[in-house]
Chain A
Amino acid sequence: MAEIKTLIKIKPKTYSVGDVVAVDFMAMHPMESGMRKDKDSGALILAHYINEVTFLLNDKVITKMVTWESLSVNPLFSVNLKITGAGTLKILAKDNKGQSVETTQQITPKG
């Protein structure tokens, strides 16, 4: 199975300690509902979706999500984060077929 491609964006790009920023996490994933039929064979396509996303700051869980097949293909997961200092943001995403991906982003406040 191909590796799941991901992207983290922090908005705004520059921030200081005390700011609340947006963390936007995207993943390339088919998010199959299990209700679609294959066009050629007519067989149901098995459900395949991201079912768990965990945001960790310096290895401490700050947000956890249980997600379902109703999310769009190539989904977006966006939450806020209060900047308390420099650190590492790690986002773990898992799908219902057991595949997982870990993406990290350095948090580097200005000033």
Chain B
Amino acid sequence: MGKRSLSIALVCLALLGSAYAEESMSMSAADKAMYDELLENNPADMELSEGESLFGALIGKAGYAKMMGVSEKALPAYIAGFPRYVDSAKKVVTLSQTIQMAAASQGKEVPKLESPEMLKMTLFLKSLANGQKTAMNVKANPQMKAMMTLGKAVFEQQRGGRGLSCNSCHSSDIIGQRLRMQILPDLGSKANASAGTWPAYRMTKSETTLLDKRFQQCMDNALLAKIPLGSKEMVALEVYVTNMTKGNAIHVPGVKR
């Protein structure tokens, strides 16, 4: 990349949110209905059904509930509360990390967080909480409190050559402005229901993606070093963003632009 294009881009960043957010460029209700229909025929449904068989072969719902120390009936509400502090892990973990724990407990090969199998199983596991509300509790224990604090710091940490943070595009005072044709979303809104609708199918990538992998794609685009999946900082970021959508309905797989 030449210096010139970089400076052009920087000028544009400065222009972000100026007067070209015309109403005529927004999606009409009819257009939105057409895209909403994608939820009913979500390509990610195929991965979900694969995830069900993979998860069944790995540990199954009953085995998983037993491992986590909850009844099978309580599983949906329990899953709706992730990320959460898990005693046996002695840390705050994501759903994907509990699948790794499950594999270890069964003496099976532990799937990598980046693997397609992990995506499919996490999608299936989270789908058990469909219809529940995002119920993560950041005040549940000191560990969650600490992760919330760290997550906020990660969200606001300016990094990379351009000094961008998550907050650069997703702070509350910039919501609704535009990055090219895209209205910057309110991560906490009911309409977006962001955390509750991941894993989701991303139309621009034509693939199903986990929330933390989506964070990595965002970091990549902002020219930031990617925070590794499963690291304390990444889990903290998921805690922070999930907290923005507390009480929103869970419906996976979602469909995203």
Contacts and interface: CB of A to CB of B under 8 A. Distances in A.
B182 interface: no
A7 B40 CA distance: 12
Interface stretch (B41-49, B80-88, B105-113, B209-217): B41-49
Interface residues of B, number: 9
A6 B46 contact: yes
B117 interface: no
A73 interface: yes
| Majority SS at the chain B contact face | helix
Interface in A1-21: 5-7, 9, 11
A96 interface: no
Contacts of B40: 9, 11, 24
B206 interface: yes
B50 A26 contact: no
A9 B206 contact: no
A7 B48 CA distance: 11
Contacts of A28: 43, 46-47
Contacts of B47: 28
A7 B49 contact: yes
B45 A26 contact: yes
Contacts of B43: 26, 28, 73-74, 76
A9 B45 CA distance: 11
22 contacts: A5-B46, A5-B50, A6-B46, A7-B45, A7-B46, A7-B49, A9-B40, A9-B41, A11-B40, A24-B40, A24-B41, A26-B43, A26-B45, A26-B46, A28-B47, A72-B206, A73-B206, A74-B46, A74-B206, A76-B41, A76-B43, A78-B41
Interface of A: 5-7, 9, 11, 24, 26, 28, 72-74, 76, 78
Interface of B: 40-41, 43, 45-47, 49-50, 206
